[in-house]
């Protein structure tokens, strides 16, 4: 759990820092730091579902061969 919290803190910090350095705006930095990890989480879930489907198809094709 501690590793997850430290990674989350690092992720938010990087997102905030990059957005702040690009825009010079604390509000934009804060918004990006909050929104980007949430969007990334949804993207990860979609990626995993697609990957699982591809693996199932590959396994099924090996069984039929």
Q: For residue range 14-47, what is the model confidence (pLDDT) as tens digits?
A: 999 999 999 999 999 999 999 988 898 899 999 9
Contacts of 30 (CB under 8 A, 6+ apart): 16
- Counting the structural domains of the chain, the total is 1
Residues in the chain: 65
Instruction: Give the structural domain span for 54.
Output: 2-64
Q: Is the pTM of this model over 0.75?
A: no
57's torsion region: left (phi>0), alpha (psi -120 to 50) or beta? alpha
Q: What pLDDT does residue 54 have?
A: 93
């Amino acid at each position: 759990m501690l590793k997850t919290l430290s990674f989350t803190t690092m992720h938010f910090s990087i997102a905030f820092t990059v957005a702040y350095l690009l825009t010079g705006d604390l509000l934009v930095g804060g918004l990006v730091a909050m929104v980007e990890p949430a969007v990334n989480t949804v993207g990860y879930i979609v990626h995993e579902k697609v990957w699982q489907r591809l693996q199932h198809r590959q396994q099924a094709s090996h069984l039929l061969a």
